[in-house]
Amino acid sequence: MEGYNHREIEEKWQEKWALDGIYKVPDTEAGKNNFYQLVEFSYPSGNLHTGHWYAFAVPDIFARYKRMQGLNVLYPMGFDAFGLPAENAAIKNGGDPAEWTERQMEAMRTQLRSMGASFDWSREVVTCAPEYYKWTQWMFNQFLKNDLVYRDITMVNWCPKDQTILANEQVVDGKCERCGTEVVQSEQQQWMLRITKYADRLVDDLDKLDWPEEIKSAQRNWIGRSEGSEITFKLSTDDTVSVFTTRADTLFGVTYIVFAPEHPLLEILPIENRDEVNAYVVATKKKQELERQQSKEKTGVQLKGITAINPANGEEVPVWIADYVLSGYGTGAVMGVPQHDERDREFAEKMGLAIVDRPLVDKKEITEKVGGKLVKTYRLRDWGISRQRYWGCPIPIVYDPEGKAHAVPDEHLPWLLPTDVDHTPDGTAPLARSKELLERTEKIFGAGWRPEVETMDTFVDSSWYFYRYLDNKNEATFASPEKMDTWMPVDLYMGGAEHTTMHLLYSRFWTKALHDLGLVKDSEAYKVRRNRGLILGPDGNKMSKSKGNVINPDEYVERLGADTVRMYLAFMGPYGVTVNYPWDPNGVVGVRRFLERVWKLKAKIDVEKKVCKTDPLVHKTIKGVGEDIDEFKFNTAIAKMMILLNALEKEEKIVLGSYKALLKLLSPFAPHIAEELWHELDETESIHLASWPTYNTDFLIEETVTLAVQVNGKVRGEITIAPDIAKEDIEAAALALPRVIAIVAGGQPKKIIVVPKKVVNIVF
RNA sequence: GCCGGUGUGGCGGAAUGGUAGACGCGAUCGACUCAAAAUCGAUUACUCGCAAGGGUGUGGAGGUUCGAGUCCUCUCUCCGGCACCA
């Protein structure tokens, strides 16, 4: 037998598996239940890094395990292929983003294949393909018809470098998530999706989901529901202003009212110190949002000549504007209750406003009494999806000569992205420069019609991709109801923690919207969600080129093999928890050693041998490995296989069945070496089509058990006895230990506790 | 500040309230070798002791229990989310 040559066998089996199509998944298979396991598809960067391996290769263990257990497992892969990097590459080097993307995808497919993952490539989904975005646009049209889409002028986050709008989720510490440029606020028209309409359900339905609390809590925080009252104050000018408060019970303690500087009433009120007020408003607008949030120093200006009447007691209180009141939240005006609110107190003290201590009242009663209403507000904003970029899904809208927006009718979908675009950025949307798009629009709709030149946020593309895997070639609909019935909802969705309040929230919204339109059955797409952690550099820091701590998986695959890399990543710690693990270049060698020893162990097989004293351990290992995989504890599953190997190696000769069982247990983790060794045993069918080994409980019955003997809770020795021995005999055996006799020294134990198979505690 | 998570050897980590540190890495010693690597064997929480054996130990302080890494109370650290959100 040759030595373990990973290069040879990995390539050989990858080719063979592809050729035989062993991972091609039918929509239904007789006698098998379907299991839909999803991982977040990736952007085609053309560079498969350690993170990808951790994201795809480790869940592949689970998919393979489920398949061997007799489930019909779908584990698909695709590409979230629209997005800025392709366009930036085109800007930098010239060329076409579509071609660039295709090249990157081809490179990535090759790299992905090197993982030995069991993806069903026949179901691949590529979001930038017209066959795909046709349905993205179709859904947009459906949403438009059902009032889930609208056009609005809003303050947006604008990245001056990328020349595009960013969602709040894409702004990190006031900087563009992608390029790190300081984000500025600017007022723009854009297409909005009414995600806020679903805010309550997005919060409430979390309770039904088997998701880690950490994810649910992050989504709740992000949506930021708060329940309170809207109360109207009359002004001295006969105008009225509504305030939102969660503390209606403090209404009697109101000593002033404050507007946000952007409040629309400011323009119409007869303010005596108009110049002073305007100056404050202008100064506020100049401040960027970031600055406004950082400097907590209270500022503000009183609106002279304006007062408000407290509806609870008729008291007349002054009215101010101050930038500590946010225009985008609640009603953009608050009641100042310095006695009960820290911010109000700070403001009142600085401005010399009254602070009064009044009794609290019932929130609900007082709200009703003063004609207010109980309301909920949310931190979540509607989702602006307009991007002034080229490489995205075109928004299927055209404008008539009067400038009115119309949906591009379904029969003209896909509304193709034009190709005649100069990618040099000039601050305008690239599609505005396309002759092709304009001519197409006029040809179909008439002279004077103009196309929408914005493209969609790529989070739109990824909000429904998991449906398309189920039926990726369907030309009549995005996915047939029958196929969705057999697969949805997703049984297990593993992904990155960074998507918790972005993709994960958006796609939940999308599913609910499709559900309400009768297009899908479930209102939640993912039954179980697990976030994974990060693989850090050997120095314990996040991998980055500048730190020089980047681990290139290709090098390790070349040197030690894909099986070793997969298995090492699984061995580092439990999966599905957001814990970060540093890559240990020595640790990975340990896994390789394990595989080599499995390889060598084959020489010890004795086909004549039928029983071995390791047989019970084999059964125990089968049980344990299965249980660990069920809980995503791949690390301890591997440890158990190592324990078994250690024991088998100590034997002169081993039973063939034991070796086969070990190979089966190993096969989800290290699919190539397991397949190779399996075939060397004269097996002809793939090990990956074999069934998961079963264990015989007869072997799990222990002949003897070892109990710790404690005196007053401290371990003083141990006894090895038959498991079914009587309590009295156990006590006697424990008391007979020389060390116990020495400690007890003839005294009478107060009590003896016997925990079967575990411990004897002599309390003395 | 609010919410969520985390804390165990030199390192990654393991432990249904029942012998803390499985498994792996690293380290030390030994075998093999001219030598090194690889491989194999032994040791490896800390500490006192020649040894037998003892003491201490899961961020910290209390508590419940025959028995606590695990349960309870308080507290600290680090990581993540939200944050002038009324």
pLDDT digits (tens, 9 = 90+) for A270-280: 999 999 999 99
Separation between the CA of A257 and the C1’ of B82 (whole angstroms): 26
Rounded to an integer, what distance in angstroms lies between the CA atom of residue A64 and that of residue A78? 19
The yes-or-no verdict on residue A1 having pLDDT over 60 is no
Cα separations (Å) of A388 from A62, A511, A612? 41, 26, 70
Together in a domain, A389 and A332: no
Q: Is the CB of A252 under 7 A from strand B?
A: no
Rounded to an integer, what distance in angstroms lies between the CA atom of residue A471 and that of residue A250? 57
Together in a domain, A247 and A371: yes
The region of weakest confidence among A82-96, A306-320, A433-447, A740-754 is: A740-754
Q: Is the CB of A545 under 7 A from strand B?
A: no
- Crossing angle of helices A50-68 and A615-630, in 10° steps, is 120
A481 lies in a domain?
Answer: no
Together in a domain, A286 and A313: yes
Cis ω on the peptide bond leading into residue A414 (within 30° of 0)?
A: yes
pLDDT digits (tens, 9 = 90+) for A340-385: 999 999 999 999 999 999 999 999 999 999 999 999 999 999 999 9
The yes-or-no verdict on residue A337 having pLDDT over 70 is yes
Together in a domain, A304 and A236: yes
Residue with nearest Cα to nucleotide B11 C1': A584
The pLDDT of A479-491, averaged and rounded, is: 97
Question: Amino acid letter at A553?
Answer: P
Phi, psi of A715 (to 5 degrees): -70, 125
Give the nearest nucleotide to A577, CA to C1'. Answer: B5
Cα separations (Å) of A755 from A713, A758, A760, A764? 13, 5, 6, 17
Q: Is the CB of A224 under 7 A from strand B?
A: yes
Question: Amino acid letter at A632?
Answer: F
pLDDT score for A292: 53
Give the nearest nucleotide to A299, CA to C1'. Answer: B84
C-alpha torsion sign, points A332, A335, A337, A338: positive
Separation between the CA of A587 and the C1’ of B10 (whole angstroms): 14
Separation between the CA of A358 and the C1’ of B61 (whole angstroms): 41
Burial class (CB in 10 A: 0-12, 13-18, 19+), A522: middle
Separation between the CA of A716 and the C1’ of B49 (whole angstroms): 18
Q: Is the CB of A714 under 7 A from strand B?
A: yes
Together in a domain, A268 and A395: no
DSSP SS3 for A763: strand
- Show the tokens assigned to A244: 């939102």
Give the nearest nucleotide to A574, CA to C1'. Answer: B13
The yes-or-no verdict on residue A399 having pLDDT over 70 is yes
Cα separations (Å) of A598 from A97, A124, A235, A561, A570? 47, 35, 83, 15, 18
A438 lies in a domain?
Answer: yes
Cβ pair A293, A391 in contact under 8 A: no
Cβ pair A307, A317 in contact under 8 A: yes
Separation between the CA of A318 and the C1’ of B19 (whole angstroms): 73
Domain of residue A299: give its range: 226-377
Together in a domain, A332 and A250: yes
Together in a domain, A359 and A420: no
Rounded to an integer, what distance in angstroms lies between the CA atom of residue A19 and that of residue A30? 24
Q: Is the CB of A715 under 7 A from strand B?
A: yes
**Mean pLDDT value across chain A:** 92
Give the nearest nucleotide to A763, CA to C1'. Answer: B66
Together in a domain, A269 and A357: yes
Q: Is the CB of A384 under 7 A from strand B?
A: no
Rounded to an integer, what distance in angstroms lies between the CA atom of residue A693 and that of residue A664? 7
Rounded to an integer, what distance in angstroms lies between the CA atom of residue A425 and that of residue A420? 14
Under DSSP, the state recorded for A266 is: G
Q: Is the CB of A574 under 7 A from strand B?
A: yes
Strands A581-582 and A535-536: parallel
- Count of CB atoms situated within 10 Å of the CB of A104: 20
User: Is the model more confident about A430 or about A293?
Assistant: A430
Rounded to an integer, what distance in angstroms lies between the CA atom of residue A664 and that of residue A729? 42
User: Is the model more confident about A635 or about A176?
Assistant: A635
A501 lies in a domain?
Answer: no
Cβ pair A158, A498 in contact under 8 A: no
pLDDT digits (tens, 9 = 90+) for A15-69: 999 999 999 999 999 999 999 999 999 999 888 999 999 999 999 999 999 999 9
A470 lies in a domain?
Answer: no
A303 lies in a domain?
Answer: yes
Closest by CA position to A708, among listed A751, A674, A739: A739
The yes-or-no verdict on residue A689 having pLDDT over 60 is yes
C-alpha gyration radius of chain A: 33
Give the nearest nucleotide to A761, CA to C1'. Answer: B66
A158 lies in a domain?
Answer: yes
Question: Amino acid letter at A442?
Answer: E
Altogether, the residues listed in chain A come to a count of 764
pLDDT score for A295: 63
Cβ pair A622, A694 in contact under 8 A: yes
The distance from CA A714 to its chain's CA centroid, rounded to whole angstroms, is 46
- Count of CB atoms situated within 10 Å of the CB of A360: 15
Global pTM reads: 0.93
C-alpha torsion sign, points A425, A428, A433, A434: positive
pLDDT digits (tens, 9 = 90+) for A570-618: 999 999 999 999 999 999 999 999 999 999 999 999 999 999 989 999 9
Separation between the CA of A751 and the C1’ of B54 (whole angstroms): 25
Which residue blocks in A69-96 are alpha helix, DSSP H? Answer: 84-93
Under DSSP, the state recorded for A129 is: S
Closest by CA position to A735, among listed A716, A757, A722, A755: A716
Angle at A142 between CA A139 and CA A148, to 5 degrees: 100
Which residue blocks in A462-552 are alpha helix, DSSP H? Answer: 465-468, 481-487, 503-516
Chain A 269..328 CB hits on strand B (< 7 A): 292-293, 295-299, 323-326, 328
Give the nearest nucleotide to A347, CA to C1'. Answer: B84
Rounded to an integer, what distance in angstroms lies between the CA atom of residue A387 and that of residue A446? 26
pLDDT score for A757: 85
Count how many Cα atoms sit within 13 Å of the Cα of residue A100 in the half-sphere of its side chain. Answer: 20
Rounded to an integer, what distance in angstroms lies between the CA atom of residue A241 and that of residue A266? 11
- Crossing angle of helices A130-145 and A503-516, in 10° steps, is 60
pLDDT digits (tens, 9 = 90+) for A216-255: 999 999 999 999 999 999 999 989 999 999 999 999 999 9
The pLDDT of A760-764, averaged and rounded, is: 87
pLDDT score for A288: 57
The pLDDT of A115-132, averaged and rounded, is: 97
Residue with nearest Cα to nucleotide B65 C1': A713
The pLDDT of A303-308, averaged and rounded, is: 95
Instruction: Name the domain boundary from A360, A377, A394.
Output: A377
Number of domains into which chain A is organized: 3
Cβ pair A233, A295 in contact under 8 A: no
pLDDT score for A169: 67
> From edge to edge, which strands make up the β-sheet containing A492-496?
A72-74, A34-39, A492-496, A529-532
A117 lies in a domain?
Answer: no
Cα separations (Å) of A600 from A504, A566, A591, A637? 46, 20, 14, 21
Q: Is the CB of A249 under 7 A from strand B?
A: no
The region of weakest confidence among A82-96, A285-299, A414-428, A734-748 is: A285-299
Beta strands in A332-385 (DSSP E): 333-336, 373-377, 383-384
**Percent of chain A whose pLDDT exceeds 70:** 98
Question: What band does A660 get if pLDDT is binned at 50, 70 and 90?
Answer: very high
pLDDT score for A751: 87
The pLDDT of A462-483, averaged and rounded, is: 97
pLDDT score for A151: 94
Rounded to an integer, what distance in angstroms lies between the CA atom of residue A546 and that of residue A645? 41
Under DSSP, the state recorded for A182 is: B
Cα separations (Å) of A450 from A133, A399, A442? 21, 5, 7
Give the nearest nucleotide to A222, CA to C1'. Answer: B82
- Show the tokens assigned to A668: 């989800």
Q: What is the four-CA torsion angle of A692, A698, A699, A703, rounded to 10 degrees?
A: 160
Under DSSP, the state recorded for A417 is: P
Rounded to an integer, what distance in angstroms lies between the CA atom of residue A146 and that of residue A14? 48
Cβ pair A137, A394 in contact under 8 A: yes
Cα separations (Å) of A31 from A23, A68, A70, A654, A694? 18, 14, 9, 35, 19
Give the nearest nucleotide to A501, CA to C1'. Answer: B81
Together in a domain, A230 and A343: yes
- Which nucleotides in chain B lie less than 7 Å from some protein C-beta? 2-6, 11-16, 18-20, 22-26, 38-41, 53-55, 66-68, 80-86
Instruction: Name the domain boundary from A377, A395, A414.
Output: A377
Give the nearest nucleotide to A332, CA to C1'. Answer: B86
Together in a domain, A327 and A242: yes
The region of weakest confidence among A390-394, A542-546, A572-576, A587-591 is: A542-546
Residue with nearest Cα to nucleotide B26 C1': A586
Chain A 499..528 CB hits on strand B (< 7 A): 500-501
pLDDT digits (tens, 9 = 90+) for A722-753: 888 888 888 888 888 888 888 877 778 888 99
Chain A 724..763 CB hits on strand B (< 7 A): 739, 743, 751, 753, 755, 758-759, 761, 763
Together in a domain, A259 and A352: yes
The distance from CA A492 to its chain's CA centroid, rounded to whole angstroms, is 12
Rounded to an integer, what distance in angstroms lies between the CA atom of residue A376 and that of residue A254? 21
Cβ pair A426, A404 in contact under 8 A: no
Q: Is the CB of A718 under 7 A from strand B?
A: yes
CATH number at residue A723: 3.10.20.590
Cβ pair A752, A734 in contact under 8 A: yes
Close Cβ partners of A689 (under 8 Å, ≥ 6 residues apart): A22
pLDDT score for A698: 86
Which residue blocks in A533-655 are alpha helix, DSSP H? Answer: 553-560, 562-571, 585-601, 615-630, 634-649
A361 lies in a domain?
Answer: yes
Instruction: Name the domain boundary from A440, A458, A476.
Output: A458
Together in a domain, A252 and A312: yes
**Percent of chain A whose pLDDT exceeds 90:** 77
Residue with tokens 């090197």: A114
Chain A 586..615 CB hits on strand B (< 7 A): 586-587, 589-591, 593-594, 596-597
Q: Is the CB of A421 under 7 A from strand B?
A: no
Separation between the CA of A452 and the C1’ of B43 (whole angstroms): 74
pLDDT score for A291: 57
The region of weakest confidence among A103-107, A286-290, A676-680 is: A286-290
Separation between the CA of A206 and the C1’ of B5 (whole angstroms): 18
